[in-house]
Structure 1
Amino acid sequence: MDSECDLDTPINRAAYERARLTAQVRTSISWQMQELDIKPKDLATRMGVTQGRVSQIISGGENLTLGTLASVAAALGSHFTIDLLPESSQEVTKPDVENLVDQVQERAQLGTHEEAAEATLATVFALLAQAASHRVIQRFLEGVAEDLAEASNR
């Protein structure tokens, strides 16, 4: 096994878990903002921070404190859940695809083509994030999350 995919060492496993958790947090925040139709500037106002700070939070380029995550959750009227599971219990939950498709179609009818495209991307990203377990997929998803965050800042 090459060193890039070797998760047997504590250092590599920790780096993998950090990347995975970061992607999950970014995805959760972006998805919830999309669901609530909250723009980054609106989240910044609700949190009492700058829009630049919200961009840092969404981009995932730094360690986020529990306090910051609590502020994001409160500003979104939401909460985070955390589960610590043994590796052997990796379950793939089946997403409610029909509901997600309905949401995308509803947005497509109510908004512009750009809004429909954003909704579709967010939906696809959420589905892929649920199924991601390999580092290559994880890196791809992180790139998609960055693209979605940049698109929502425009």
Structure 2
Amino acid sequence: MQAKFEMTDGRKALTAILADFPSDSAFWNEAQNRFQFVDRLLMECLGWEHPFVEVERFDDAGGRADYLLGKPVKAALEAKREAVHFSFLPANKASSVRKLRPLVAACKNLEAAVLQVLNYCTLHGAQIAIVCNGPQLARPIRESAAFGPD
């Protein structure tokens, strides 16, 4: 599967989405955050298409993955409402790259979300874990890991 557009187009789309983010977004519940932001991020910015995005998939351990990306699964994304703030995580700065371990150690919300999504990765065979609460997005960056459709 190839992305429908270039990375620069995806960045422009993300900039537009963030610029239009309403001031009351912190009061959105998780479902509203997913509908207003995460779905748009995946489709409009990263080029994922509906057949390759599965939502609310239950597993044998009693969990429910918010998003599984790819067939076979390449990534798992755990979405939170924006009010579940990830302390010390840069927001709205595409160039901000930070090591995950100190961020997780400093923020219980981020730690809980990371542990949750890592479980989904293990159960579904995903190599990439993503947590998102709206404008804050975290994923490990590796040379060999791509985020977006092939």
Report if TM-score (shorter chain) is over 0.5. no
TM superposition score normalised by structure 1: 0.27
**Which protein has greater RCO, CA pairs closer than 8 Å, 6+ apart?**
1
The structure having more radius of gyration, on CA atoms, is 1
In terms of fraction of residues, the more strand-rich structure is 2
In terms of fraction of residues, the more helix-rich structure is 1
